Amino acid sequence: MTSSKKRERDASIDTAVIDISRREVGRLSTRKFFNRIAASEDLVLRLHLSRKLEKHRGCVNTVSFNGDGDVLVSGSDDRKVIFWDWEHGNVKLSFYSGHDDNIFQAKIMPGTDDRSIVTCAADGQLMQGYSKLLLRISIPLDHEVAYLGVLVMFFVQYEYARLYDIRHYKWDSSTDFGKPSDHFCPRNLIGDENLGITGLAFSDQSELLASYLNDSIYLFSKDMGLGSDVKAISDNSLVSSDSEMETDGKDGPQAYKGHRNCETVKGVNFFGPKCEYVVSGSDCGRMFIWRKSDSELIRVMEADKQVVNCIEAHPRTTMLASSGLERDIKIWTPSAVDKATLPTNIDEEIQKPVENIHELKAYNIA
């Protein structure tokens, strides 16, 4: 072990010992102690594959936890929805969704005692299942890139992430809900209609992550909205003297780079008790983890033989679930003895062609 690595290890141990000591004498609250431990970069660098959940007969396109984190729900190209006891690897419930095409999103509705689930799929349908009752709602097919965002009221089309305020919705249909209240986009990408957004996520600090097809991941603060009038936004961008605005500067969103998002629908997520990290899959079959504060790439993990599409963080502990073109779900826990380091040839590995690339074309949303 080199002297620098030894000093780093000793510093990490010393910090943990100090926190434990302060907790024992009441100088550090339980919540703050948990948050410091759970957000520790030491744990992130020790994430290790601990279990595979294998039951689906197609690519797994979505994974998510219930509020307590003891149940994982997944959806697949096989059109089945599965509720997992992920800790023991057992299936709690499995059923056909009623969709006519691949499932792209499945979420357990909060406040329903895990009895209600909403799914959306490539058939243009949004379904709610409750006590074996399926309610079907049609979604316009020209919003197919919105499937990942429809459940959080963000609809995605072209280069803009569009925010809809659900407080404007009324049951009698007399509503302005169909009009976006705000738009988000890096200024250097405005007008590029070849782009699309494949994943969106909110943080506890009201930040927005957007993963762009053939581009980077961007982090927007809530004051970076461009307004409700998309035509005015486009016109202003054409005459603006700041067209060369830096996307990583104070006036623009922070960018996270290094992964590859070209072939399939990639999600993006926050990770950590206070959203300290950003996580994404990649066409190279790896998971990427960046430090949110400075966009530093700190971890790259082999997670699929082909493509990683989804990464979901556990709501209560340091754990990740991932899925991709393989037919399983992988559970990652900080169980490794040694801390991982970044591969020295990561740039070369990312550029390698994906296996069975012809199978991915059916998933391309460009």
pLDDT tens digits along 58-112: 999 999 999 999 999 999 999 999 999 999 999 998 988 889 999 988 999 888 8
Query: Who wins on pLDDT, 16 or 41?
Result: 41
Q: What percent of the chain has pLDDT over 90?
A: 41
57-361-288-58 Cα dihedral, nearest 10 degrees: 0
Task: Give 351's pLDDT tier (boundaries 50, 70, 90).
Answer: low
Mean pLDDT calculated for residue range 334-346: 85
What pLDDT was estimated at residue 224? 94
Query: Who wins on pLDDT, 241 or 350?
Result: 350
Task: Give 174's pLDDT tier (boundaries 50, 70, 90).
Answer: low
Mean pLDDT calculated for residue range 299-309: 94
Task: Give 36's pLDDT tier (boundaries 50, 70, 90).
Answer: low
What backbone phi and psi angles, to 5 degrees, belong to 126? Answer: -110, 125
Residue 140 has pLDDT above 50, yes or no: no
- b/e 155-186 (16+ beta carbons within 10 angstroms → b): bbbbbbbbbbeeeeeeeeeeeebeebbbbbbb
Out of 122-136, 164-178, 256-270, 320-334, pick the least confident: 164-178
What pLDDT was estimated at residue 352? 55
Average pLDDT value over all residues in the chain: 78
What pLDDT was estimated at residue 146? 33
What pLDDT was estimated at residue 109? 86
CA dist., res. 328 & res. 54, Å (int):
5
What pLDDT was estimated at residue 236? 80
Task: Give 359's pLDDT tier (boundaries 50, 70, 90).
Answer: very low
Residue with the two structure tokens 């066409």: 283
User: Residue 146 has which token pair?
Assistant: 């919105």
What pLDDT was estimated at residue 354? 46
Collect all residues with Cβ–Cβ distance below 8 Å to 173 and sequence separation of at least 6: none
Mean pLDDT calculated for residue range 45-59: 95
Which pTM value belongs to this model?
A: 0.79
User: Residue 40 has which token pair?
Assistant: 């520790």
Which amino acid appears at position 35 of this protein? N
- Over residues 225-280, the pLDDT tens digits come to 998 887 888 878 776 644 444 444 447 899 999 999 998 888 999 999 899 999 99
What pLDDT was estimated at residue 360? 37
Residue 355 has pLDDT above 80, yes or no: no
Which amino acid appears at position 270 of this protein? F
Q: Which fold has domain 48-97+167-363?
A: Methylamine Dehydrogenase; Chain H (2.130.10)
